[in-house]
């Protein structure tokens, strides 16, 4: 386990704040999430969750907040913020992805940060 020193802690908070800002653009009706991928203190990619691109132009999202089975791992029809950030970083900055860090945040209904102390999604945990 690595404990963050003061400088690392401040830097991590600034990237979480950036992920929070990105999450406000999410078009998913179920939840708003944002991810920022960082390497050597530089953002190499950022993204939010939203429907697949072919539905995005129609602004359609079939995610009903309470309709998904609680036992299902993926509780949304949308592409996750982490998945989008990783896919785009691999396309545009593949040489920087190894050794990078991903910062993720989910917003509550009032657009405030919701802290998560454990992996939120097993699918995205596997991607990471």
Q: Quick check: is 107 in a domain?
A: yes
Host domain of residue 28: 6-127
Q: Quick check: is 111 in a domain?
A: yes
pLDDT score, position 68: 53
Contacts of 15 (CB under 8 A, 6+ apart): 36, 38, 43, 101, 103
The mean per-residue pLDDT over the stretch 102-120 comes to 80
Q: Quick check: is 1 in a domain?
A: no
Contacts of 111 (CB under 8 A, 6+ apart): 24, 32
Q: Quick check: is 66 in a domain?
A: yes
Q: HEC profile for 63-116?
A: CCCCCCCCCCCCCCCCECHHHHHHHHHHHHCHHHCCCCEEEEEEECCCCCEECC
CATH of residue 107: 3.40.140.10
Q: What is the pTM of this model?
A: 0.81
Q: Quick check: is 25 in a domain?
A: yes
Number of domains in the chain: 1
Quick: pLDDT tens for 13-57. Answer: 999 999 999 999 998 877 889 999 999 999 999 999 988 776 655
């Amino acid at each position: 386990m690595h404990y963050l020193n003061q400088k690392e802690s401040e830097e991590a908070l600034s990237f979480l704040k950036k992920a929070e800002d990105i999450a406000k653009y999410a078009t998913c009706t179920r939840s708003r999430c944002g991810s920022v991928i960082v390497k050597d203190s530089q953002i190499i990619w950022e993204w939010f969750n939203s429907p697949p691109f072919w539905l995005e132009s129609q602004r359609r999202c079939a995610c009903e907040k309470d309709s998904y089975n609680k036992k299902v791992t993926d509780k949304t029809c949308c592409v996750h913020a982490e998945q989008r950030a990783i896919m785009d970083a691999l396309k545009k900055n593949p040489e920087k992805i190894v050794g990078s860090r991903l910062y993720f945040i989910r917003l509550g209904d009032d657009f405030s940060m919701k802290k998560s102390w454990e992996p939120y999604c097993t699918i995205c945990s596997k991607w990471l």
